[in-house]
Amino acid sequence: MITAILLCAISWIATTTTTAQNLTSEGCGSKRSCWFQPGGCETTDIGSCVSSVQWTTESDGVVFEFQATIRDLTNTFNGRWIAIGFSKDDRMGDDSVIECIFKPSGDGNAYLSFNDMTHNRQLLQATTVALAETSGQIVDDRMMCKVKWLYGGREKVFEEDRFKVFDLESRPWTMQIARGEADHYSFSKMIHSTHDGDLFPWVTTSEVHVCRNCSDEKRFQYIKDMKQTDISRYWRYRIATIHGILLMFAWWVLASSAILMARFFKPLWPNTKLFGTAIWFQAHRNCLFVSVIIQVIAVFLIFLQSSFTWYGCTYECNAEAFGFKLHVNLGFSATVAALIQPFLALIRPGPDSNWRPWFNWVHWFLGMGAWLCATITFFLAVQLGKTGLHRNFQQTPYYIMGVYIATFVICSIALEIIASQSTMRTQKIGQHGMELNLLNGPSTEDPGASYPPRASLRPVFLVIHLLVAIAATCWISYMLIYNLEAV
């Protein structure tokens, strides 16, 4: 009996040792396909490779063997996971995944899963029909997983999930490899590291083939080109912070003040001109010009950090993902509307044209619509992971934003009440010949009114608004910068 147990133990050690020694680059590109991370580790010291994938095609499927070190996954209380993904691009999202999850004891199980943007869901039914000959074990500080992906398995996957299990032979793929820890109790995968370093996922920079009936060159590849990310996490977070600060300044400090100036300051200082034209007009035009330039820079930067990916919703489209989608769409619409405004102003009809009221209303509608979209976009930014606003400060950012909106609304109502005591518009043409001299439009005042009532009170409200706008922008900016220390 004892001899039998010993024999079993020896044979187990023999098998596992053989598997551990499997990390070799022999035959790569001639007998099988290989990809080691980081690039070139196998030529210097193969033991220093943090992970690797090797695969061979058989008549009924592809056998993948992938492994990774657990030395830097230090929480021994937790399980661990390693996964390879097949993607149409170099981003996480819309990827078919094969994963192995290991218990703290070292035993591993393989599953299929799907990356829905930055969420991952296991596909249990698909696993039972599309994977075979699976094995997983932690040996010598390495997670090792072996699994056969059956070419014919995809047809048997539930129809509603089939699009998540790619037809691997249909095209070449960007391959991904990621690893992380798994919850001790449920063994569900926890997010991999999102910090720069060895634990961040890797992707191939050229596409890999997983085909049976193709040339040897495609069947046996040796992947040497790879990357982790185009822009490091360090810069991604800094760019997101700059994006937020610039946009708050552009909308709440510059655009809001410009809107108030155009609406309530036309009849003021009728005899003073700034560089040849009315003060309100200079303030309105110049503040918005600077605001639009800042907006374009801020939106360009955020697209740069996302490698110009346009985020839609995830397939599941939960509240968090929907909020992000709204942020992108409303924010982008606000910037586009703001960008259209100066061009519209350039081609505006003359002050006595019949079309002038149309221009006035469209200009007002676009401007206020854009302001509203931008403001909603700010609220939606609070939940975004990269701002850390909700994570670090819970409801406080909402309160700050709320106080600012209330100030803008109260100042607008107060100025509206003051302006309503002024001469209402009676004539069609303003008298100063200045541009955007609003009559027969949304503006309630005749710019030529001889004595604007409570003229000295109006700047007070403008200044109150400006102070609160600057305070709110600085406070939220501080919170965004604080988050950079925390990540």
Complex with ligand HEM: residue 189 or 465, whichever CB lies closer: 189
Reported residue count of the chain is 487
- Closest residue by Cα to residue 63 from 135, 6, 123, 3: 135
Nearer Cβ to ligand HEM (193/444): 193
Question: Considering only 15-23, 132-140, 175-183, 401-409, which stretch makes contact with ligand HEM by CB under 6 A?
Answer: 175-183
- Among 57-65, 265-273, 325-333, 347-355, the segment contacting ligand HEM (CB under 6 A): 325-333
| Contact pick of 268, 297, 326, 384 for ligand HEM (by CB under 6 A) | 384
Kindly indicate which of the ranges 66-74, 150-158, 218-226, 375-383 contains the residues binding ligand HEM, using the contact rule CB under 6 A.
Answer: 375-383
Does 257 interact with ligand HEM (rule: CB under 6 A)?
no
Asked if residue 334 binds ligand HEM (CB under 6 A), the reply is yes
Q: Does 28 bind ligand HEM (CB under 6 A)?
A: no
Cβ at position 41, least distance to ligand HEM in Å: 18
Q: Is residue 32 at the binding interface for ligand HEM, with CB under 6 A as the rule?
A: no
- E-only strand ranges, 340-474: none
CB of 10 to ligand HEM, least distance (A): 35
CA distance 304 to 437: 39
Distance separating alpha carbons of residues 481 and 215, to the nearest angstrom: 53
Tell which one of 148, 189, 219, 284 touches ligand HEM (CB under 6 A).
Answer: 189
Binds ligand HEM (CB under 6 A): choice among 130, 294, 302, 468: 302
Query: From residue 186, how far is each of 79, 83, 98, 113, 121 by CA, in Å?
Result: 9, 18, 19, 16, 14
Tell me the C-alpha to C-alpha distance, in Å, between residue 113 and each of 101, 116, 128, 434: 12, 10, 12, 64
**Residue from the set 374, 438, 439, 472 that interacts with ligand HEM by CB under 6 A:** 374
- The interface region with ligand HEM, picked from 7-15, 207-215, 269-277, 327-335 by CB under 6 A, is 327-335
Q: Quick one: 180 or 448, whose CB is closer to ligand HEM?
A: 180
Calpha distance 62→59 (Å, rounded) = 8
Phi, psi of 13 (to 5 degrees): -60, -40
Per CB under 6 A, the list member of 67, 256, 335, 341 interacting with ligand HEM is: 335
Contact 82, 100 (CB under 8 A): yes
* 3-state SS assignment for residue 110: strand
Select from 78-86, 281-289, 410-418, 466-474 the region that touches ligand HEM (CB under 6 A).
78-86
Strands 33-37 and 51-57: antiparallel
C-alpha of 168 from chain center = 27
| Site for ligand HEM contains 145 (CB under 6 A) | no
- CA dist 313 and 319 (Å) reads 10
Region of residue 275 (phi > 0: left; psi between -120 and 50: alpha; otherwise: beta): left
Of 378, 359, 144, nearest to 256 by C-alpha is: 378
> Which pair of structure tokens corresponds to residue 24?
């070799």
Tokens 């934003």 locate to 401
Task: Lay out the site mask for ligand HEM across 216-255 (x = CB under 6 A, - = otherwise).
Answer: -------------x---x--x---x--xx--xx--x----
Residue 303 lies near ligand HEM (rule: CB under 6 A) = yes
CA distances from 276 to 272, 342, 429, 433, 437 (A): 9, 19, 19, 11, 15
Q: Which of 378, 404, 461, 475 binds ligand HEM (CB under 6 A)?
A: 378
The region of 3-11, 90-98, 157-165, 345-353 touching ligand HEM under the rule CB under 6 A is: 90-98
Under the binding rule (CB under 6 A), the answer on residue 328 touching ligand HEM is: yes
Locate 282 and state its tokens.
């200079």
146 counts as binding ligand HEM under rule CB under 6 A: no
Out of 32, 142, 284, 327, which residue is the one contacting ligand HEM (CB under 6 A)?
Answer: 327
Strand, coil or helix: 246: helix
Could you say whether residue 331 binds ligand HEM (CB under 6 A)?
Answer: yes
Closest to ligand HEM by CB, 200 or 364: 200
User: For ligand HEM, what does the binding mask look like between residues 451 and 480, x meaning CB under 6 A?
Assistant: -----------------------------x
Task: Judge contact between 96 and 114, C-beta under 8 A.
Answer: yes
Site string for ligand HEM, 97-126 (x = CB under 6 A): x-x---------------x--x-x------
Radius of gyration of the chain (CA): 31
Q: Which residue type, as a one-letter code, is found at position 233?
A: R
Cβ–Cβ < 8 Å for 415, 260: yes
Which of 16, 22, 194, 440 is close enough to bind ligand HEM by CB under 6 A?
A: 194
Q: Which of 53, 54, 78, 91 binds ligand HEM (CB under 6 A)?
A: 91
Does residue 357 contact residue 441 with C-beta atoms inside 8 Å?
Answer: yes
- Omega into 351 within 30° of 0, i.e. cis? no
CB of 206 to ligand HEM, least distance (A): 15
* Site residues for ligand HEM per CB under 6 A: 83-85, 91-92, 95, 97, 99, 115, 118, 120, 176-178, 189, 191-192, 194, 201, 203, 229, 233, 236, 240, 243-244, 247-248, 251, 299, 302-303, 306, 309-311, 327-328, 331-332, 334-335, 374, 377-378, 381, 384-387, 480
